[in-house]
Amino acid sequence: MSNQRGTLARQRERFALAQVKSWDRSWAKDAMTWAQSLPIQIRTQGLSQTVAWLLRVDTAEAVALAQLLAEWLLKESRALRPLGEAEQPSGRLLLERCIQADRVAYLAAQAEALAVLEPVKLLARVFYDEDNAYAG
């Protein structure tokens, strides 16, 4: 069991690394700041409300974070109902799946969102925090 957890943790880290490194430098610092606060927002307002908020804000960094969560929860971890053949992960689809999910699936997806955000937060600080000697 611990080996499965370790493997899933490594998958999250690899996914987070690829996502964070793909961020555009023009908004990456803002995305880093937002990523730091998303876990609190998810815990207080829930995953569906947080995704709805990201979609409503509609800035490059908000869309990127919604897309990151959609990619992980719908495609990589399959925490929610898997994608159909013609479906692509998106923030809107993630929001729909969150709303349609039963309580158990929703809470599992929320926990998985919190888990994937941990390496995202750490790696974003490594790559984009100006106070970090390794950034840039």
pTM (predicted TM-score): 0.90
Measure the CA angle with vertex 89, ends 73 and 100; round to 5°: 65
Predicted pLDDT of residue 1: 46
String of b and e for 23-59 (b: at least 16 CB within 10 Å)?
beeebbbbbbebbbebbeebeeeebbebbbebbeeee
Give the pair of three-digit tokens for residue 14.
């690899």
Write the Ramachandran bin of 102: left for phi over 0, alpha for psi from -120 to 50, otherwise beta. Answer: beta
Q: Dump pLDDT digits (tens) for 75-133.
A: 998 888 878 888 899 999 999 999 999 999 999 999 999 999 999 999 999 999 876 54
For the chain, what is the domain count? 1
Q: Does some domain include residue 87?
A: yes
CATH number of the domain residue 86 falls in? 1.10.520.30
Residue 133 lies in a domain: no
